[in-house]
Amino acid sequence: IDNGSFQTRAGWACPDPAVPAEPLLRFRSLAARSRGARGGAGAETQVGNDLGSPEPLRWLLRSPFDRNVPVQLELQELLLDHVFQRLGVSSQGCVDHPIVLTEAVCNPLYSRQMMSELLFECYQVPKVSYGVDSLYSFYHNRRQNWPCSGLVISSGYQCTHILPVLEGRLDAKNCKRINLGGCQAAVYLQRLLQLKYPGHFAAITLSRMEEILHEHSYIAEDYTEELQKWRCPEYYENNVHKMQLPFSNKLLGSTVASEEKQEKRQQQLRRLQELNARRREEKLQLDQERLDRLLYVQELLEDGQMDQFHKALVELNMDSAEELQSYINKLSLSVEQTKQKILQSEVNIEVDVVDSKPETPDLDPLGSEQSLEDVESINEFEPLFAEEQPEVEKPVAAVQPVFNLAEYHQLFLGTERIRAPEIVFQPSLIGEDQAGIAETMQYVLERYSKEQQALLVQNVFLTGGNTMYSGLKARIQKELLEMRPFQSSFQVHLASSPVLDAWYGARDWAVEYMNREEGWITRKDYEEKGGEYLKEHCASNVYVPIRLPKQAPRAAEASAPSRASGTGNPSEQA
C-alpha cells in the first residue's frame, strides 16, 4: 500500500506471474461522511473514487493527513477498509496477509505507533514493514551501473524532500523538507486565474486547477528570461493555451412564446399609461393650487392693499409685480397643456397600441406630434419615469446574443503556466519564508566533504507526482551547474514513472524479502517493543528509540522510617 497524501495505491506483491504487477486500486485519499436524512437514514460514508467530482462535497471532504503525516486514524481506518474490501481480502475477522506500507520521511514515532496499533489490533495482520516512498522509487529505478549513493529529490502533493543516500542507506540527519508541493501550486494557480477572470470565480475550481497544472504547466529553465519572452505578442500567440469552461447556450428569453410576450407588453403599457395619467393629475392639482395663490396675490395689488401685497411677495420670494405676472402666465400655460394632455389620453386610452405599427404611412401627424410632446413633457418633469417608457413594438425575432458565449467562457493560460510550478524554486512568490529546491540542495551538499559531494551529485534522482513537469530536469541541471565547481561532473535522472514507482519499488522489495526477517515487524515485536518500533532496511527510515530520562530517587523513601514512627517535623512529613 502506497499511502500517499494525494492518492492511495494498493495491490498484491506475488512472484507468481499470473498475479498482475500493477496497483489494482488507485483513489484519492479523501473521505466524506454525510449527516444522514431526517427520515431516520444513517450517515453515509464515501471514500476515494466513490465520491465522483469532489467539488460539490468540498466542504465535507476529510483527509487523514496533516501535510504528509497521517494523524486522523479514524479516517485512515476508512481508507484501509476500502482497500481491503476492494482487493477482495476474504479472511474472516482479520487481514491474514503481510503488509508493506509507505510512511513519511522521518515519520514521528507517535504516528507510527498509532498506525501499528491500527494494523495489529484492528486488522490482526501477521507482520508489517514500513518504508519511505521516495526510497522505494529510488531502488526500483536502480540500474546495473548506478551507484548506491545519490541525492533523492522527492516532490509530492504537500511537501518536497531532499534526501541524501550514502552507501545504500538514508542519512536522516541531513534530510531537509520544504513545505510546498502540488497542492500549494494548484491553490496559487487558482488565485491567479480568479483575479484574472473575476466573472468566472465559481467555475475556477481546485479540481480544474489540478488538471490544468498537470497537463499545461512547465518549469522554465530561466524564469526571468522566460517572462521576458512572454512579453512578446508573437510568442504569446504561439504559446498561450486556451481552456474552454462549460457554459449553456440556452437563453431564457428565447423560450417565451410570442403571444406571451405581446400580452406582457400590453400589460406593461397599460400600467405605464395609468401611472402617467395619475402623475399628470397630481401635477395639475399642484399647479392649479399655486396658480390660485398667485391670482389671490394679484387681486391684492388690484384692490390697492399694498402692505399685504408686499408681504405676500416676500413669502413667495419674489421682487416685483412683473415677476409675479410672469409666473402666472407660465403656470396658466402649463395648466392648460396638462388639461389637454389628460383629455387626449382619455380619448386614446382604449386604442390598441400594440397592434399599431409605426411604419404605417396613414398615421395622423397630429397624433405623432402629441406623442412626442408627451415624451418631452415626461423627460422634463419626471426624469426617472422616462427610463420606464416601453419601446415601440417590433416584430418578434430570434434572440441574438450580443457576444460569443463560448469565447467569453475561455481561459487564456499565459505566464500562469510557469508561475504556478515555480513556487518550489521561489517560495517567496506566495509569501512563504522558506528556501527553494536549489538553495536547500546546496545547503545539504555543503554538509558533506568534497568527496561525498561528488559522489552524491553523480546520481541526483527526481521522483514524486510534482516532478512530472516538463523542463524540471533541465532546471535542476542548470542549478547544479551554477553551484558545482568548474568542470565537475554530475548526472540527473528522472524516475520512469514518478507517481507509481514508489508502489513498484515496494512490490519489488516485498517479493525479494518475503521469506526473510529483515525489515518485517511481527506481532511479537509489536507487543514487546511498542508500536513505534521499526526494523530498518534499505528503503526505510532510521529508527530512533524513545529515551526516557531516569527518574531521581524519591526522598520520601529515605524519610519513611521517621514518618512511620511519628517523629520529625510535621511540615516535612506533609
Q: Which three cell numbers stand for residue 26?
A: 488507485
Same domain (yes/no): 31, 127: yes
Give the chain's length.
Answer: 574
Supply the range of the domain harboring residue 342.
263-346
Same domain (yes/no): 6, 131: yes
Q: Of 117, 114, 154, which is closest to residue 134 (Cα–Cα)?
A: 154
Same domain (yes/no): 109, 212: no
Q: Which three cell numbers stand for residue 174?
A: 541531513
Which amino acid makes up residue 446?
E
Half-sphere exposure for 231 (CA within 13 Å, toward CB): 6
238 DSSP 8-state letter = H
Cβ pair 196, 189 in contact under 8 A: no
Q: Which is it for strands 61-62 and 45-47: parallel, antiparallel or unpaired? A: unpaired
d(CA 139, CA 487): 29
- Domain of 221, CATH number, reads 3.90.640.10
459 DSSP 8-state letter = G
| Angle of CA points 83, 85, 88, to nearest 5° | 105
With respect to residue 391, please indicate whether it lies within any of the assigned structural domains: no
Angle between helix 501-512 and 133-140 (nearest 10): 80
First to last CA, the chain: 57
With respect to residue 316, please indicate whether it lies within any of the assigned structural domains: yes
Q: Which three cell numbers stand for residue 559?
A: 524519610
User: Which pLDDT does position 138 carry in this prediction?
Assistant: 94
End position of a domain, from candidates 402, 430, 458 = 430
Q: Which three cell numbers stand for residue 549?
A: 530520562
Q: If residue 572 lies in a helix (H) or strand (E), which one and from where to where? A: helix 570-573
With respect to residue 357, please indicate whether it lies within any of the assigned structural domains: no
d(CA 102, CA 156): 14
Q: Of 1, 4, 9, 15, which is closest to residue 513 (Cα–Cα)?
A: 15
Same domain (yes/no): 19, 136: yes
SS (H, E, C) 13-33: CCCCCCCCCCCCEEEECCEEE
Which amino acid makes up residue 139?
Y
Number of domains in the chain: 3
End position of a domain, from candidates 374, 396, 430 = 430
Same domain (yes/no): 8, 80: yes
Q: Which is it for strands 127-132 and 99-103: parallel, antiparallel or unpaired? A: parallel
With respect to residue 525, please indicate whether it lies within any of the assigned structural domains: yes
The per-residue b/e assignment along 321-354, b for 16 or more CB within 10 angstroms, e otherwise, is eeebeeebeebeebbeebeebbeebeeeeeeeee
User: Which pLDDT does position 8 carry in this prediction?
Assistant: 96
d(CA 509, CA 539): 9
Same domain (yes/no): 126, 37: yes
With respect to residue 174, please indicate whether it lies within any of the assigned structural domains: no
Same domain (yes/no): 60, 133: yes
With respect to residue 508, please indicate whether it lies within any of the assigned structural domains: yes
Q: Which three cell numbers stand for residue 383?
A: 426624469
Same domain (yes/no): 12, 129: yes
End position of a domain, from candidates 331, 346, 361 = 346
Same domain (yes/no): 132, 52: yes
Q: How many helices (H) and strands (E) does the chain have?
A: 22, 19
Q: What is the pLDDT of residues 471-516, one digit of tens each?
A: 999 999 999 999 999 989 999 999 999 999 999 999 999 999 999 9
Backbone angles phi, psi at 262, to 5 degrees: -65, -45
User: Which pLDDT does position 107 carry in this prediction?
Assistant: 95
With respect to residue 424, please indicate whether it lies within any of the assigned structural domains: yes
With respect to residue 563, please indicate whether it lies within any of the assigned structural domains: no
The DSSP code sequence of 172-221 is GGG-EEES--HHHHHHHHHHHHHHH-GGGTTTS-HHHHHHHHHHH-B--S
Mean pLDDT, 10 residues at a time, the chain of 574 residues: 95 89 93 67 79 84 93 94 92 91 95 96 95 94 79 96 94 95 96 95 93 95 96 95 85 56 86 86 86 84 81 82 84 86 71 44 40 47 44 48 78 96 96 95 96 94 95 96 92 94 95 92 94 93 82 55 45 44
Give the residue carrying C-alpha cell 497521517.
Answer: 70
d(CA 29, CA 335): 80
41 DSSP 8-state letter = P
Same domain (yes/no): 275, 305: yes
Q: Of 134, 28, 84, which is closest to residue 500 (Cα–Cα)?
A: 134
Same domain (yes/no): 135, 222: no
Same domain (yes/no): 12, 97: yes
Q: If residue 515 lies in a helix (H) or strand (E), which one and from where to where? A: none
d(CA 148, CA 153): 15
Cβ pair 504, 497 in contact under 8 A: yes
d(CA 117, CA 112): 8
Strand, coil or helix: 487: coil
- Domain of 117, CATH number, reads 3.30.420.40
Half-sphere exposure for 125 (CA within 13 Å, toward CB): 23
For residue 297, what are the contacts with CB-CB under 8 A and spacing of at least 6? 309, 312, 313, 316, 324
Q: Which three cell numbers stand for residue 306?
A: 399694498
Q: Which three cell numbers stand for residue 554?
A: 524519591
